[in-house]
Amino acid sequence: DTGVSQDPRHKITKRGQNVTFRCDPISEHNRLYWYRQTLGQGPEFLTYFQNEAQLEKSRLLSDRFSAERPKGSFSTLEIQRTEQGDSAMYLCASSWQGRDSPLHFGNGTRLTVT
Amino acid sequence: GQQVMQIPQYQHVQEGEDFTTYCNSSTTLSNIQWYKQRPGGHPVFLIQLVKSGEVKKQKRLTFQFGEAKKNSSLHITATQTTDVGTYFCAGPWTGNQFYFGTGTSLTVIP
């Protein structure tokens, strides 16, 4: 169990640029989640995959956000035309199949939009 | 929509004092999980409660699930500086979405 890894750890970008983050889940896990967390707040659900299928997406999520998990292994989260309000920590988590399985989080990607 | 509130939002205690955080949901939960996030870290799973009225203990930590499965609590006895962090409750509120509560930030004063 090498844990969930996320890349990059930090990203600074200018407003209007596109950014892409990568998440490598624990290899045996078929569920993968993306969350966003701002200072002093709890993780906010963005989207969820079971294997390669994106099964849930937050209704609050802008169309500028898109996520993929093409082969059911690693996942990418892309933000197009970034805005200053997108600045946050983006957390990826994975779990076993099973609605009640605990989430294992990566260290996150901290995005700063200037 | 679902709301998961935790109180208090912040708690400062002297080392050795007890600490309790409460989690309240607007809907009945199939289960609830608790996570701890150290400053600068990521959430780490602590425990899961499934049954109505369930109580589980981990050393100085006691977790309880309400009879109606709409609330939960975490109690820490004789806090230590290693207990510092933010404690979140979380659960599968709708479909496969997994929502986190607002969190309680614990500061332990040595």
Closest partner CB to A43 (pick from B43, B48, B92): B43
**Long-range own/partner contacts, residues B72-75 (CB < 8 A, 24 or more apart):** B72/B22, B72/B23, B72/B32, B72/B34, B73/B20, B73/B21, B73/B22, B73/B23, B74/B20, B74/B21, B74/B23, B74/B34, B75/B18, B75/B19, B75/B20
pLDDT in tens, B32-77: 999 999 999 999 999 999 999 999 999 999 999 999 999 999 999 9
Token pair in block for residue B59: 């050393």
Which of B33, B34, B63, B96 to mutate: most A Cβ within 10 Å? B96
Q: pLDDT grade, residue B88 (50/70/90)?
A: very high
Q: Which residue of A has its CA nearest to B31?
A: A100
Give the span between the Cα atoms of B101 and B93, in whole angstroms.
11
Q: Which of B48, B85, B86 is nearest to B64 (CA)?
A: B48
How many angstroms away from the CA of B37 is the closest CA of chain A?
10
- What lies within 8 Å, CB to CB, of B22 at 6+ separation is B6, B7, B71, B72, B73
Chain B residues with beta carbon closer than 8 angstroms to that of A99: 30, 92, 96
A44–B48 C-beta distance less than 8 A? no
B97–A56 C-beta distance less than 8 A? yes
% of chain B surpassing 70 pLDDT:
94
User: B-contacting residues of A 39-78, CB under 8 Å?
Assistant: 40-45, 48, 50, 55-56, 58
Per-residue model confidence (pLDDT) at position B94: 64
Q: Which residue of B has its CA nearest to A109?
A: B42
Token pair in block for residue A108: 């996150």
Per-residue model confidence (pLDDT) at position B39: 93
Chain B residues with beta carbon closer than 8 angstroms to that of A91: 42-43
Give the span between the Cα atoms of B64 and B74, in whole angstroms.
7
Q: pLDDT grade, residue B2 (50/70/90)?
A: low
- Judged by a CB distance cut-off of 8 A, whether residue B21 touches chain A is no
- Judged by a CB distance cut-off of 8 A, whether residue B103 touches chain A is yes
Per-residue pLDDT in tens (0 to 9) along chain A, 114 residues: 579 999 999 999 999 999 999 999 999 899 999 999 999 899 999 999 999 999 888 887 889 999 999 988 999 999 999 999 999 999 999 998 776 788 999 999 999 999
Chain B residues with beta carbon closer than 8 angstroms to that of A58: 97
